[in-house]
Amino acid sequence: MDEALRERIKTTIESHRVVLFMKGNKNFPQCGFSAQVIGLLKQNGAEFRDVNILADADLRTGLKEYSNWPTFPQLYVDGQLVGGCDIVTSLNESGELKTLLGAKAS
């Protein structure tokens, strides 16, 4: 991955406290897993930035390498990868998601 792409990914991840890289956008998710994560974020009252990776092939390819994570959606909080749909669902069930989303950036 070239440096410009890596820098662009980093800037995007840090542009908002909570960033969701997804298929489609928050109003029109184009994948059931992305839709599920959006539902959980809304349910927990989170404000988040959505990034449609279907509209950006470089970003889509680059993110997989950047995060060592091959699938979407990918949720980032405070610049850190939290996980995909399964992990976000697990964290919601345990109550950890609310804590994570509510915590202030250190």
Partner 1 sequence: MIEPAEVERLLMARFGDAQLELVDLTGTQDHYQARIVSSAFSGKSLIEQHQLVYGALGSAMSGAIHALALKTYTPEAWAKTSGASDGRSLT
Residues at the site binding partner 1, with contacts judged by CB under 8 A: 33, 64, 68-71, 81-87, 90-91
Q: Residue 82 CB, nearest distance to partner 1 (Å)?
A: 7
CB of 7 or CB of 103, closer to partner 1: 103
Q: Residue 32 CB, nearest distance to partner 1 (Å)?
A: 9
CB of 7 or CB of 37, closer to partner 1: 37
Q: Residue 41 CB, nearest distance to partner 1 (Å)?
A: 17
Is the dihedral angle over the CA atoms 60, 85, 65, 16 positive or is it negative? positive
Query: Torsion angle of alpha carbons 47, 63, 25, 18, nearest 10°?
Result: 0
CB of 5 or CB of 87, closer to partner 1: 87
